[in-house]
Amino acid sequence: MGILYDDVVIIRHPEKEGDPVVITVNCPDKTGLGCDLCRIILFFGLSIVRGDVSTDGKWCYLLFWVVGKSTTRWGLLKKRLVGACPSCFSASGISYYSAESHPPRPPDVFLLKLACHDRKGLLHDVTGVLCELELTIKKVKVSTTPDGRVMDLFFVTDTRELLHTNKRKEDTYDHLRAVMGNSMISCDIEMVGLEITACSAESSFLPTAITENILPLQMPDEALSSLTSTNVSVIMDNMLSPAHTLVQIVCQDHKGLLYDIMRTLKDYNIQISYGRFYIKHRRTCEIDLFIMQADGMKIVDPNKQKALSSRLEMELVRPLRVAVVSRGPDTELMVANPVELSGKGRPLVFHDITLALTMLNSCIFSAEIRRRMIGDREFEVYRVLLDEGEGLAVPRRKIEEQVWKMLMVCNINPGLYITESLSCSASTLAAPVTQTSWRNDENLVAGDKKSEADSVFLHLKSLLTDMCSHAMNILACRIRFWWWIHVEAQFKTICRL
């Protein structure tokens, strides 16, 4: 079955330098799989510039065009993506023991205690090492003493599940020592008990003044363009497909955009049967999603449609909340990161926060990460107390904008944006089938019904062509899978003889 396992995730590197890397995933389907894959891709510092998703309800076929750093560990990325996919036997109907049929065991939580001498950029360097080692930060408590020493307490989980071994601990010590040098005083790693783990995972409510004035959940009446995305459109249509609701989204690109959409649909238990995503010129993104509820029905309830549309719009306008506030004589940076119902959140948030502050030469006096309830939703709230010293050299507004840009802005080569000249055979998206999508097109004459009809026809033709192509890919994957099941069964029969 080794060949089948290798074919679950295929990473194809481009022939031309600078072109996107294509990641192909074909495996049994499950609700929320796209969200899990997008979170992993985001954790590795990659940006998705195009995407195609298709499923027949049991087997799915996904394509991601990604760009990112030259130092990306592609082998490790493939391993993590394969680990997120359901077992192939889950679609075969053959009963095998599998951990997927049992509730997952909560990961062990470790306390990393680090004592060191303070310096600028220290916390970001430590955070970078932990991310490189795949140690997920669940909670942080950082404090600075008057004599210039720092005590960092990190509650972490290990993606590799090896931190209980001496070898893994020594490897962590060595990486931290290599970055910190003589600044390190001591370092200790120990597994914490269940009572401490439960306490660290428990969410508490923030004061109402903070949630209403600083980190509001509702859509702001006057959105600040520098701290929010603009021009977001979410349209739902039940006329195009007899079995699916079509969701068409037009918005500006930002880091983790596809993840924000996928996690919202996952929280609503919505299944995507077919979807396409791409970025046009000027960072404009267009997404077409054919979705249905968990019961296999389209969304016809107006209240459910309105709730889903409002939630998607809110998550695209303001996926993260950033604010710099006064705490008496001190200045505090607050960032709220929404948590999925599964308990997972956007990766690398603390890494990007510390990087932004390092670039501004702002010193961190103390920092804390805790799970908080804001309204009826759970957030990871990052509270960073800034060391003003003789006076805050950086204006608060600039801190807010720099942190927001670090968290949201993608560094993508403009040449990778899809242009209008690309053909439909390259799996590009046509404009959404709405009158507003061509309202500002200078090439269309007002009232030219024939031109509008042609646009609709071309769009539908593109959708149907790509859907048929993906259906054939899914069929080929399933035929190959069943062939390997048959070969394995025959091999076992021969061995018994």
**CATH 3.40.720, domain 320-415, yes or no:** no
- Residue 452 CB neighbour total at 10 angstroms: 15
Residue 358 pLDDT? 92
Model pTM score: 0.80
pLDDT, averaged per 10 consecutive residues of the chain (497 residues), comes to: 69 91 94 95 95 90 92 94 83 46 75 92 94 93 88 93 96 95 93 66 56 61 59 92 94 94 96 91 88 93 95 92 84 93 93 94 89 86 82 80 92 51 32 34 42 54 59 56 50 53
- Asked if the domains 109-191 and 320-415 are classified in one and the same CATH topology, the answer is yes
Give the contacts of 84 (CB within 8 A, at least 6 positions apart).
33, 36, 37, 40
Residue 17 pLDDT? 86
Q: What is the DSSP string of 21-68?
A: EEEEEEEE--TTHHHHHHHHHHHTT-EEEEEEEEE-SSEEEEEEEEE-
Give the number of C-alpha atoms closer than 13 A to the C-alpha of residue 383, restricted to the C-beta side: 17
Quick one: 266 exposed, middle or buried, by C-beta within 10 A (0-12, 13-18, 19+)?
buried
Which class in CATH covers the domain with range 109-191? alpha beta
Residue 394 pLDDT? 83
Residue whose tokens read 């298709």: 54
Helix (H) or strand (E) holding 111: strand 110-117
d(CA 36, CA 267): 12
The residues that bridge with 252 in the sheet, in sequence order, are: 284
d(CA 17, CA 261): 30
Q: Closest by alpha carbon to 307, among 260, 267, 341, 259?
A: 267
d(CA 74, CA 85): 17
Domain extent listing, the chain? 9-89+228-317, 109-191, 320-415
Residue 426 pLDDT? 32
Structure tokens at 342: 């599964």
